[in-house]
Chain A
């Protein structure tokens, strides 16, 4: 199977942590508006983007995720007022650190998606899936047992 074909055959696994009040709702809206986005995405609902513990991100990579996305409310819209402000700092520090350890930064992204941006949700999932498909499977951090 030629490299290109192999790459086409590779279906990336994307784990998305969606904040309950905005991004998860955005995902719902995309669904109810009959917008399609790639099935490679597995959405896990969290109360807030600041609930995403770096353990979750690393565990996802260990168990075979090729890309991880944290989606939360736009700064200022957070249901808990300051949640995404903390998340912005902590996930920024985590993203740069994962890069330092050797994980391609595209594999871990953070997006602010509000409850009304169903289209943006679908678009982001589409873009991330294509980017990761181009990058190929994530061997780094994966638990091979």
Chain B
């Protein structure tokens, strides 16, 4: 276990940014999002969740993957390579868990090599939470607010300094490169982390206790709820916008589109949302999900029933972004309780 005092962090960031693009939570006009590090950036490590999750580094909002040239009947195609290595500093445990969840889909046969390459080129330094937000419910999905097993390095904010623990090869390699900036954390560091982890987990469990729930029962509860009238009540206020899906760390649906400049162009994949009306609209006009009711139902069924039955993990990490940012407060925790998913 290592440690680094907070006033040395800019030095650490400079060093990290020399070998790879360093993304960390930066505040701009009051909005905290992951942005590349540059001298004097307004880094904010206190906000629990950035607005847009670090998913955008492994599944960018749009990424070109094919360059094409059409000339009369001739066609020539050329893949576009994935850009260079990057480091994510300050990803919260829920967001790191979310990346591990969508790994299961993208790395499953047939493997999505674009995603795989981006994952391999990335190193994730997670920062444990000290306090839960009111909208946090990661413990309901049996995740820990102060520990992320899937990160390459786990860090904890101890006030004056950060504790730093390498996990796995990438983490070890990175720790070795940053050796001169890191000191040994001493014997009682492990115990300090232990008590922090229990303290935060119990604080959030207490908060979620107010709801008093654990969501592990929601998959079975949803098995027979396809025609439940819960959906009729829920969908009516939905605006059909893409806020909940685009800021959700586990939402991964994408579209494939072409951009053309005369004879040349780029094919790219980009985020798409099941809440949009044209998500399943077919060319001949049929749409298996014609109204907002089917779309709102699909979003919850996919995260809490379909994804778990395919990959036996819920596609929700309890980060609470959708609860905070939905313009009409469609709240997944309310849905889980209403369908009887609380155990």
Contacts and interface: CB of A to CB of B under 8 A. Distances in A.
Direct contact between the two chains A and B in their complex (CB within 8 A): yes
4 contacts: A145-B64, A145-B259, A145-B261, A145-B266
A145 B258 CA distance: 12
Main secondary structure, interface of A, reads loop
Contacts of B64: 145
Interface in B230-288: 259, 261, 266
Interface residues of B, number: 4
A145 B68 CA distance: 13
Contacts of A145: 64, 259, 261, 266
A144 to B, nearest CB: 11
Contacts of B266: 145
A145 B67 CA distance: 11
A145 B268 CA distance: 12
CB-CB nearest 4 A-B residue pairs = A145-B259, A145-B266, A145-B261, A145-B64
A145 B259 CA distance: 9
Interface string A104-145: 000000000000000000000000000000000000000001
A145 B261 CA distance: 8
A135 to B, nearest CB: 24
Nearest to B259: A145
B166 to A, nearest CB: 40
A145 B257 CA distance: 14
Interface in A38-58: none
A42 to B, nearest CB: 15
Interface string A12-39: 0000000000000000000000000000
Interface string A72-106: 00000000000000000000000000000000000
Nearest to A64: B261
Nearest to A63: B261
Contacts of B261: 145
B247 to A, nearest CB: 26
B2 to A, nearest CB: 42
A3 to B, nearest CB: 28
A145 B64 CA distance: 10
Nearest to B64: A145
Nearest to B262: A63
A87 B261 CA distance: 30
Contacts of B259: 145
A56 B259 CA distance: 18
A77 B40 CA distance: 59
A38 B199 CA distance: 75
A145 B264 CA distance: 10
